[in-house]
Structure formats: structure tokens, C-alpha cells
Amino acid sequence: MQGERTDLPNTRRERFWKNVEIKGEEECWNWKHITHVGNRYPTCAGGEVHRMVYKYTKGPIPKYNKDGRKIVVRHLCGNKICCNPNHLVLGTQSENNIDRYKIDGAKKLTNEQVLHVKNLRAQGQTYAKIAKLYNTSNVLIRNVCIGKGTYGGIV
Ligand SMILES: [Zn+2]
């Protein structure tokens, strides 16, 4: 999918999607206005960006599941700034923690992400900062930068 979305008549939504780097269905759609590099989710006027994506594309987010556990919107890709609705699912915090563990252990990066990581590194970013941006380990980022190990990318 390229360019502007045309299926969202609401101007607030249109403005929202202008802040998203919309790409192919499988790729991460990064939020363009990152004001920090860290462990928090980016926010916009409506709240946390990934939750807004979920509401805009899939509907309301229930507060609790049938077991009374709090429901969160999870990133399947582990990229906190990603706004691709295909990468977002509902789950619980504990599932989220399991995901994070899995991602850290064997994260797959797209070629584009690998290039992005290398660019950031070339610009002088530390491994730690890049790792936080991608919600992964310093080791993985280092491996990407020096072209070592299996991180999914082939660039
Ligand atoms: Zn993603």
C-alpha cells in the first residue's frame, strides 16, 4: 500500500495517517514523529499511537478479557513505533512479555530495517540507542552492524 489512505473520511484520521510511513503490508509502518528513543510508545493527541491505529482500523479495544486480565495492544513485530495494523493484535501484558523475550532471542529484521540500523550506526548512534528503538538487544544490533549472525536480513 502506498501513499495516502482514502478509506478514512474523518479528517482527524487523515491527519493521523499522514504521520505514518505507510509501506507494504508486511513491512513496519513507522510513526514519523519520534520525540524520544526509548522504551515508551510514541503518543499523539488521541493517546498512544499504536492504540489509535488499532481503534481506527479494527475498532474499540476491550478493557479486560474473559479472565479479567487487562487487554493491551501488542506489536507482533516488536517495533514500538510501528503503525501497521497487520502487526497489531490484542493480548495481555504477560503475553507481551513473552513476545519481548522471543523477539530478543531471535528477532528477524527486514532488509529495510537492517539498512536503517546500519544508517543510524553510521550516523554515530550507539548500539544501545538503536536497540531500544527496535526493542531488542544490543548484541543483535551489533551483529547487524558488523554483519554477523542470523538476524533475518540479507543486506
Ligand atoms: Zn511492525
Do the beta carbons of residue 53 and residue 86 sit within 8 Å? no
Cα(137) to ligand 1 centroid in Å equals 17
Distance between Cα 29 and ligand 1 center (Å) = 6
Whether the predicted pLDDT of 153 surpasses 50: no
Distance 70 CA to ligand 1 centre (A): 22
Q: How far, in Å, is the centroid of ligand 1 from the Cα of 79?
A: 6
pLDDT of 37 reads: 58
Q: Are 94 and 87 in contact (CB under 8 A)?
A: no
CB–CB of 123/130 below 8 Å?
Answer: no
Distance in angstroms (rounded) separating the CA atoms of residues 49 and 19: 10
pLDDT value of residue 105: 46
Q: How much distance in Å is there from the Cα of 83 to the middle of ligand 1?
A: 7
Local structure of residue 84 (DSSP, 8 states)? -
Q: Given this model, what pLDDT does residue 44 score? A: 87
pLDDT digits (tens, 9 = 90+) for 7-48: 555 688 888 999 999 999 889 999 998 766 566 788 888 899
Average pLDDT over residues 115-127: 91
Specify the range with the lowest mean pLDDT, choosing from 30-44, 52-66, 85-99: 30-44
Ligand 1 centre to CA of 148 (Å) is 23
Rounded to whole angstroms, the Cα distance separating 69 from 37 reads: 29
* Ligand 1: centre distance to CA 150 (Å): 19
What is the pLDDT, as a whole number, of residue 120?
93
Q: Label residue 82 by pLDDT band (50, 70, 90).
A: very high
Cα–Cα distance for residue pair 127/107, rounded to 1 Å: 15
Question: What residue segments make up the domains of the chain, in order of their start?
Answer: 1-105, 107-155
pLDDT category at 152 given cuts 50, 70, 90 is very low
How many CB atoms are located within 10 Å of the residue 77 CB?
24
Cα-to-centroid distance, 141 and ligand 1 (Å)? 17
